[in-house]
Amino acid sequence: MLKTGGWRRTILTILPGLVLSMTAGAGRVVGADAYSTGVQLLTARKFPQAAQYFSQAVKASPRQGMALYYLGLSKHYQGDRQGAMESYSRVLSEYPGTEACNLAVRGMSSIDPSILQQLGLAGGGQSSGRRQQRQGQEASGGGDDLSMPSECRVNFTKESNCMIVDGRVNGRSTRMLFDTGAENVVFGMNHIQEMGINLGKSEQSVNVTGSGSRGSQKSEVHLVELTLGNIVRKNFPILVMEHADNYPIIGQRFFNELKYTVDNNSNCITFQRRTGQVASNAPLTAYDVPFERDGKEIRVMTEIEGKKVPMWFDTGASWVVMSASQAQACGITVPDDARVVQTRGVNGLSRTRFVRVRSMRLGPVDKRDYEIGVADSLGSPYPLLGGDFLQNQQFTIDYDRGVIHFGRH
């Protein structure tokens, strides 16, 4: 069984912000629920209440520093600059090189611009972890190189509603999970050993978070030649954790520079080079679904029983899945006799309970009496729109226009 959660955000990118339309329920929650509730309160601009929940989350589950960063941000919005700087400073000292660190640097510099000079970041505004990554790439051959024809078709097979493709690492073949809900390309050291590859020693490590009960996992950063079909990327950074139970993950970092069409009827993905030009005179149609970028993630607005719910568009998730607090915010009640499935994500096992909703819609895709999962350990600020919802659909991810187009052009 493949994962039900596709959230594997890592430190290699910076979150631009959060947009949520759900309202938070009352009551004391801890850990992941406290974090999710805090995010909802923060985006609803209820800053004192958000700070209380993030304080709980920091104590129960630090979440790689993001809860601590959001605690600082909540104080920042309240005008408590000293409190904000204290939280931001803790992020820098306790979670160096993480995405939370990158964001904390931004927050600190908005309070005191001289902080960038003090941290040696005045030229680029990036954390030491990101700077080290760039230097590592330069030392290994000048950065990531992309080579491909104008169009490339890649076949896939389906397993548990997910797309499995054939890739190659340094010329060695491997099966990979094509995952629009992952920012990066992630392997387990067990995968690397099975391919008989010696990656050598890495001087850089990061934490990988995602679905499952184990929390974040330390991973090494290595530069490889990664191939998918006729697409070749040299000096490409992959993350290698100690062990991964499922397939290696090929995420947005590999293909977000490309336009691609997924055809679930012919089981193929067609990649094209992007033009970089936006057709301003091309109005949206009923088959176009606008999306926003959240780092490298794709966020879309769905409707569940008429209520708008933002979700990550996640082909690496088997089903539509959300956390208990997100379900509560949507007015969804999980019955005591709900069907239960043990699912496996990038960070271990999680219990998922399934409940039916009367309707769920994304643009032209309209489901009735549809089953969604409520996971105990999701770790995502948004629910995940998984592969089951996209069955039998053809859709094109057009980054230049910022839309997902369903159906043939």
Indicate left, alpha or beta for 330 from its phi (over 0: left) and psi (-120 to 50: alpha): alpha
pTM: 0.65
- pLDDT at residue 351, as a whole number: 84
- Angle subtended at Cα 332 by Cα 328 and Cα 334, rounded to the nearest 5 degrees: 95
Task: Report the number of secondary-structure helices (H) and strands (E) in the chain.
Answer: 10, 22
- pLDDT at residue 208, as a whole number: 67
Decide if pLDDT at 321 tops 90: yes
Pair 178, 261: CB distance under 8 Å: no
Give the pLDDT band (50/70/90) at residue 358.
very high
Q: How far apart are the first and last CA of the chain?
A: 34
Residues 173, 290: Cα–Cα separation, whole Å? 36
pLDDT in tens, 199-209: 988 878 776 66
Largest CA-CA distance found in the chain, in angstroms, rounded: 58
Taking alpha carbons only, the member of 405, 389, 341, 387 closest to residue 158 is 387
- pLDDT at residue 213, as a whole number: 41
Contacts of 321 (CB under 8 A, 6+ apart): 4, 5, 352, 372, 373, 374, 375, 378, 383, 384, 386
Phi, psi for residue 75 in degrees, rounded to 5 = -65, -40
Residues 31, 394: Cα–Cα separation, whole Å? 38
Beta bridge partners of 188: 241
